[in-house]
């Protein structure tokens, strides 16, 4: 891809990012994005043939700009399962407030907008993958509850770390971000670890 095409692509993605945050779920059309980027609608379609492709690309663009790989380094390089779990909760839990505007927009749109649903599902599957990796590390250390399968444990952690729970706790309940992170770590351990692991943790 030429530098000019790459620059245009980034302008489109940045424009869509801005509009998603500003409109907060009221819908973002390709023509709106084109206008925000200062290019023709045809130019947008040249880079992104469908809205679904564009919205998925926007969420991945945000991850690149905010360098999620760097944020996840501590989790990926952790020496053990509990360390990986805590580091993943730090990384994702502290990322939620930074992408909450876009997340809120996609959540509001997804029930009636297939493109928004595709973008939201793409990102949530990425989060689930991180949860699965943390659970796998706990299992390799022999720390998981024996009555739960790997899938069930992943389900528990994925649900615990949902954007909806973050909104409820830091919004309606008034928790600080630090309180949220601390309690998520505590709740994750209580829900995932065997009694023996909790006693020695």
Confidence category of residue 28, pLDDT binned at 50, 70, 90: confident
Work out the average pLDDT over 120-128.
95
Work out the average pLDDT over 9-31.
85
Work out the average pLDDT over 23-51.
87
Confidence category of residue 27, pLDDT binned at 50, 70, 90: low
User: First-to-last CA distance in the chain?
Assistant: 50
Residue 47 region, left (φ>0) first, then alpha (ψ -120 to 50), else beta? alpha
Residue 25 has pLDDT above 60, yes or no: no
| Chain segment 84-109, per-residue pLDDT in tens | 999 999 999 999 999 998 898 888 88
Quote the CA–CA distance of 75 and 69 in Å, as a whole number.
10
DSSP character string of 134-160: HHHHHHHTT-B-TTS-HHHHHHHHHHH
Closest CA to 175 of 167, 164, 163, 185: 167
DSSP character string of 40-69: -HHHHHHH-SSHHHHHHHHHHHHHHHTTHH
| Chain segment 145-168, per-residue pLDDT in tens | 999 999 999 999 999 999 999 999
* CB contact at 8 A, 160 and 103: no
pLDDT at position 108? 86
pLDDT at position 20? 87
Quote the CA–CA distance of 49 and 34 in Å, as a whole number.
13
């Amino acid at each position: 891809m030429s530098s000019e095409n790459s620059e245009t692509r980034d302008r489109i993605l940045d424009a869509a990012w801005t509009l998603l945050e500003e409109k907060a779920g009221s819908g973002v059309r390709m023509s709106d994005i084109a206008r925000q980027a200062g290019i023709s609608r045809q130019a947008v379609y040249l880079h992104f043939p469908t809205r679904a492709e564009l919205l998925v690309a926007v969420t991945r663009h945000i991850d690149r700009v905010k360098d999620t790989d760097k944020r996840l380094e501590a989790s990926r390089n952790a020496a053990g399962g509990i360390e990986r779990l805590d580091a993943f909760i730090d990384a994702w839990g502290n990322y939620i407030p930074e992408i909450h505007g876009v997340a809120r927009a996609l959540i509001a749109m997804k029930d009636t907008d297939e493109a928004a649903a595709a973008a939201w599902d793409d990102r949530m599957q990425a989060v689930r993958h991180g949860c699965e990796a943390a659970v796998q590390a706990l299992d390799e250390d022999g720390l998981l509850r024996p009555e739960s399968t790997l899938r069930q444990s992943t389900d528990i952690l994925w649900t615990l770390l949902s954007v909806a729970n973050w909104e409820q706790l830091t919004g309606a309940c008034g928790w600080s971000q630090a309180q949220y992170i601390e309690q998520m770590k505590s709740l994750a351990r209580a829900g995932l670890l065997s009694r023996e692991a909790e006693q020695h943790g």
